A and B are shown apart, each in its own frame.
Chain A
Amino acid sequence: MNKTLRLIRTMLKMQYSLAGKSSGEKIGYVLLAIFLIPFSGIIISVLNAIVETLYDQLAPTGNENALLGLLFVGMTIVLLFVSLSSVLSSFYFAEDIEGFIPYPFHPYQLLAGKAAAPFINLYVTSGVLMVPILTLYGIHSGAGFTYYIFALLLFLVFPVIPFTMMAILLMFFMRFANIAKNKDRTKVFAGLLTFVFIIGFNVIIRLNQNPEQTAEGAAQLIEQQNGLLNVITGMIPTAYFSTMALQNAKGLNGLFFLMLMLAISAGAIFLFLTAGQKFYFKGVLGLTAGSTKKFDSGKVAKKIKSQPVFLALLLKELRIIFRTPTFFMQIVVQSLFGPVFLIVILVFESSSGSIGALGSMLEQFDGKAPLLLLFIFTLFILGVNPASYSSISRDGRSWPANLYLPVSAKTVIFSKVMTAWLINLLSIILLAVVGLTVVPMPPALFTAWIALTFLASWFTSLVGTALDLNDPKLNWTDEQEVFKSRFISLIALLIEMGTFGCIVLLLWNIDSLQSLWMTSLLLALLLGLAIVISHIVLQKLIRTKFLKTR
């Protein structure tokens, strides 16, 4: 047990250590935390309004516990998804496991160590929603002391079941995936499968919903106490148990359900470690090797082609992103996540007829409003693309090659900006397909929007790359570290959404500005200005930081 704890601590230290970070950076984190306080205030007040309204609506029929049921069901689904990606990356994509395998650890001990970081992820995720909502519910229902104790315990054990379920499933799957010849490709495939799974899940849920029936059924259910809860939590028993434990926190009944939850969680952990002991090594050993095939004589001529330096650099970047499972998952899959999800929602909504209405609604509106909304929405999607803010950090230990090869710093950096722009293009194409087919967007609006999107993509690519150049993370031992515990994505988004959020708000409120073309022109000019400024900043960073980066 002692050794397991020691192992967990070492693995966590490697993931989250602040070692090697300058004091300036540490101060930066503190400042950012202070900066986030007002944001969390806004979130809590919004949540409070939602909880209050729902509680007041549901309480008269004795269905207020459906609110808790909804929270636990929602959290289960969210936690399942978060577990999927974090288990895959921590257990299988992270290559630091090789360093631990030669030591005399049991698979279950390594697994416990590896589970620590994803678990922290889960607690952060569930903390954002569960802590405020459970607290607010407690306040509104006038709950006693035991409620809060129960809530705390449930918060602690709740992620265990989604996590262990997903982990056992993945271990089983990866045990077979490891037989594959090209391991890297298999890992990427597994990542894609995850993506498809999430989308598929959403589709199934949507297919099962029939708006009219749901409304009627709900009306009936509300008439009986706990009726709504039973339906909501029907598929997920742990959500039901958790709700019942909180609902009856004062009585023995509640204690029974709490104990049940604790027992199930303990059982799940036991099952997880047992399954890990059996399957984990079979799935992970030898997983880091790529494919090998023989190179026949004469083939070399076919593979050799010369191309301009910029293109060579660009292709190198793209190859590395698409071939490194972690990069592929974090950059390509993640940036497509938003648009694809949107398409799924829109396609299903359109089958119910509401999207056609959206199309005609867009036509009715005067030019500026839909354009501004579309613009800020697209900027958000492009802004969260990690290709830009991992530009420099991705290189890791290959970075010095940029310094000793005879290529100008500018060429290197702009090949990276271009890479981010091209990855963004994937999202843009998807969005454009939606704009043309699913939502019949007016041609003028579509043209203006797409033109602005190209500019916005260049802007976000510049901002992300500049931020990464300013403070890159090159000394990683595992690709995960490029994305983990860095606030760079948030800063990028704050800069991008901050400036253009204000601008859009301003344009929205100028009454004399109504035409689509004037608005587009103004936005294009402002984007142009933002691009020029970002260029100047990036050039300055190239002069001051490029050579010092290591």
Chain B
Amino acid sequence: MITIKNVTKEYAGKTAVKNLDLVVPDGKIFGFLGPNGAGKSTTIKMITGILPIDDGIITVNGYDIASQPIEAKKIFGYVPDSPDIFLRLKGIEYLNFIGDIFDIPKDTREEKIEDLTKSFGIYEALDDHIQTYSHGMRQKIVVSGVLLHDPDVWILDEPLSGLDPKSSYTLKEMMREHAAKGNTVFFSTHVLEVVEQLCDEVAIINKGKLQFRGNMKEMKEQFEADETLEKVFLELTSNE
């Protein structure tokens, strides 16, 4: 469970996120929506400890990211919006590195690396430098790294962008399974079809403020029932 309490973040005098309150419950796939520059990535970066929080508290499974960072970070796995990291490492070296950081025993590591990378179709490229990977392959190696340490909480920033249909399907299935086991899956996206297919709950943020939070049914009820999600989204984010 991720709890965001009254969180505010300012950048050079501009408020990126204002008094945000949000609870991401266990056992559900939670979609985080908003137009470009709405504060989605800022929020996710605060949850993961990349950005310091100006005001408020964020906890992951009860651990405060500001005061107990290591404990909190052991619980979640994070897929950043850009997978262009550690480009000079080979795929296998990156996964080994993640394995060392999260203390994954050797045999578990072996089994999981083989399983994950084969299901994403990047097994054969493991001995190549990440530099030589395509955008989609980079995304897959980072997702594999997250799944390798099997965290309770998944935090994914635009995880499906750049993935081919098969890998996208595989990841969505994995997200469903993970949530079904009672874990947390929190992800941001622009793709509304994905939200409709996948999400149990959504939050919509615009200009740093929460516009809506609830399940898909509530969302449709709040607006006219026959409206498409696209229309709802445009209506919610077009104000001011």
Interface set of A (CB-CB < 8 Å, partner B): 184, 288-295, 297, 299-301, 303-309, 311-312, 316, 319-320, 323-324, 397-398, 400-401, 403-408, 547-548, 550
Contacts and interface: CB of A to CB of B under 8 A. Distances in A.
B101 A403 contact: no
Interface of B: 45, 48-52, 69-74, 78, 80, 82, 84-89, 92-93, 96-97, 99-106, 109-110, 113-114, 123-129, 131-132
B132 A290 contact: yes
Given A295-B125, A306-B109, 13 more contacts: A288-B131, A292-B132, A294-B127, A295-B128, A304-B96, A306-B99, A311-B100, A319-B88, A400-B45, A403-B50, A406-B74, A406-B102, A407-B101
Given A306-B99, A307-B100, A405 B126 contact: no
11 contacts: A184-B131, A290-B128, A295-B127, A304-B113, A400-B45, A400-B50, A401-B85, A404-B49, A406-B74, A547-B52, A550-B51
Nearest to B73: A406
Contacts of B73: 404-406
B110 A400 contact: no
Contacts, number: 118
Contacts of A312: 96-97, 100-101
Contact of B101 (A323, A406, A548, A550): A406
Given A300-B110, A305-B106, A306-B106, A290 B131 contact: yes
B129 A290 contact: yes
Nearest to B151: A406
A305 B87 CA distance: 20
B151 to A, nearest CB: 10
A401 B89 CA distance: 14
B92 A289 contact: no
Contacts of A404: 48-50, 73, 78, 80
Q: What 9 pairs across the A-B complex have the smallest Cβ distances?
A: A406-B73, A312-B100, A290-B129, A398-B85, A404-B48, A295-B127, A406-B74, A323-B88, A403-B50
A291 B99 contact: no
A401 B141 CA distance: 14
Contacts of B70: 406-408
Nearest to A548: B52
A319 B100 contact: no
A323 B73 CA distance: 29
A511 B187 CA distance: 72
Nearest to A402: B50
Nearest to A308: B100
Given A300-B110, A323-B129, A294 B100 contact: no
Given A295-B123, A403-B48, A550-B50, A397 B85 contact: yes
Nearest to A95: B131
Contacts of B89: 316, 319-320
A306 to B, nearest CB: 5
B54 to A, nearest CB: 12
Contacts of B97: 312, 316
A323 B130 CA distance: 12
Nearest to A406: B73
A20 to B, nearest CB: 12
Contacts of B106: 304-306
